[in-house]
Homo-oligomer: A and B are copies of this chain.
Amino acid sequence: MIDADAYAAARRAFDAKTKPRDSLGRIEELGCRLAGIRGFVPERLEAAIVVAAGDHGVAAEGVSAYPQEVTAQMVANFASGGAAINVLARQAGARLVVVDAGVAVPFEHESVRSLRIGAGTANLAIGPAMTDGECRAALAAGRALVEELGDVDVIALGEMGIGNTTAASALTAALLDLEPALVCGRGTGLDDEGLAKKIDTARRALVANVGGDPLTALGGFEIAFLAGVAIGCAERRVAVLLDGFITTAAALAAVRIEPAVADVLIASHRSPEPGHARALEALGLEPLLDLGLRLGEASGAALALPLLHASIALLRDMATFADAGVTDAGR
């Protein structure tokens, strides 16, 4: 799926620039990878950030430090421009698309795309979070959004949903065949008791949904939607910039549906959630940042976007040894 010619063209271009070979390390690798994904060396990088929100029936188990109403409150905050991702999207010069994929209480606002699959998922601790039809609809909505966004080079994924680290933990445990205690973390701020409850909830979810499709049974509306966005990106050779644990779990599920997704993924950061490191490793991804970020909302992806822009700007604007009359040591 990676276009070897475009990758090699970017590699040759970097090697001709006035700097020792490979001295910009992972920034050069990033530029080559973006070229390989797109199939050409982009002149500039058009970036969109898609933040999908959804509610989770599993919130009833008391697995979050925050009450469920916060999902809708944060969508309102995205709409009025006051959340971290609003600030970071502006800083990164990226278009921000906020999607209601199934918040419990609908929120009508011109800056929120209503692609609601339902009013929150069912409680995955006692049965499937979604029906087959709901999961299919969420995937299709994600794919359709990529088509609608048109000529973008990279889409950064983000999410909001109280309870969704529990869904991502159960989903990752199922997909990677891991014990829930190895993937569950403190999310947005659980204490020891809360973490124990979360692990127990994920264990019960795996038992209650044994044999079911992992994404349908253990995912969420926003998670399946983002998996659909990743599949749409693979179809259109658009790079996917992952954020934290939940978006990476969505990518893991997407790769099971469409293996070509693996080729378009770029990991922005590694969060302190233990499941995130496991999921990144399974996807063969080395993140760009490791800054203790655990907010979600695509905040880590937005913080990494300038590195992607820099890689393409260097390819476009740096002088070559020949242009600049600089002696090339050839290494």
On chain B, the residues within 8 Å of A324 by CB distance are 73, 76-77, 80, 82-83
Smallest CB separation, A239 vs chain B (Å): 18
A82 pairs with B306, CB closer than 8 A: no
Give min CB distance, A202 to chain B, whole Å: 20
A94-113 vs B: 1/0 string, CB under 8 Å? 00000000000000000000
Q: Is the CB of A87 within 8 A of B318?
A: yes
Q: How far is the CA of A306 from the CA of B261 in the complex (A)?
A: 29
Contact check, A327 vs B67: say whether CB atoms are below 8 A apart.
yes
Q: Considering the complex, give the chain B residue whose CB is closest to the CB of A296.
A: B23
| Complex A-B: 21 CB contacts under 8 Å | A17-B84, A18-B77, A20-B65, A20-B66, A26-B291, A26-B292, A27-B291, A27-B303, A70-B326, A73-B325, A73-B326, A74-B326, A77-B324, A82-B319, A83-B319, A84-B318, A87-B314, A87-B317, A88-B313, A303-B306, A306-B306
Q: Kindly report which residue of chain B lies nearest to residue A92, judged by CB atoms.
A: B306
Query: CB of A294 within 8 A of chain B?
Result: yes
Contacts of A18 in B (CB 8 A): 74, 77, 82-84
Interface flags for A293-331 (1: CB within 8 Å of B; 0: not) read: 111000100010011011001100111000111110101
A21, A188, A290, A317: most-surrounded residue (chain B CB, <10 A): A317
Contact assessment for A24 and B310 in the assembled complex, using a CB-CB cutoff below 8 Å:
no
A22 CB contacts on chain B under 8 angstroms: 292
A91 within 8 A of B: yes
| 7 extra interface residue pairs, beta carbon distance < 8 Å, beyond A18-B82, A77-B326, A83-B318 | A20-B189, A20-B294, A25-B291, A27-B291, A84-B314, A87-B310, A88-B313
Q: How many residues of A contact B (CB 8 A)?
A: 59
Cβ of A197 under 8 Å from chain B = no
Chain B positions within 8 Å of A326 at CB level = 70, 73-74, 77
Q: Bound state CA distance, A76 and B92, in angstroms?
A: 31
Q: Which residues of B contact A291 (CB under 8 A)?
A: 25-27, 288, 307
**B294 touching A25, Cβ below 8 Å:** yes
Which B residues are in CB contact (< 8 Å) with A323? Answer: 82
Cα(A80)–Cα(B319), bound, Å: 9
Chain B positions within 8 Å of A88 at CB level: 310, 313-314
Is A203 among interface residues, defined by CB-CB distance under 8 A? no
Whether A23 and B293, one on each chain, are in contact in the complex, defined by CB atoms closer than 8 angstroms, is yes
For A17, the chain B residues whose CB sits under 8 A away are: 84
**Residues of B contacting A26 in the complex (Cβ-Cβ under 8 angstroms):** 291-293
| Distance of A86 Cα from B313 Cα, bound (Å) | 10
CB contacts (< 8 Å) of A8 on chain B: these are none
> Is A204 interfacial (CB 8 A cutoff)?
no
With known contacts A82-B18, A293-B25, A327–B91 Cβ distance under 8 A: no
A289 within 8 A of B: yes
Is there an interface contact between B23 and A76, defined as CB atoms closer than 8 Å?
no
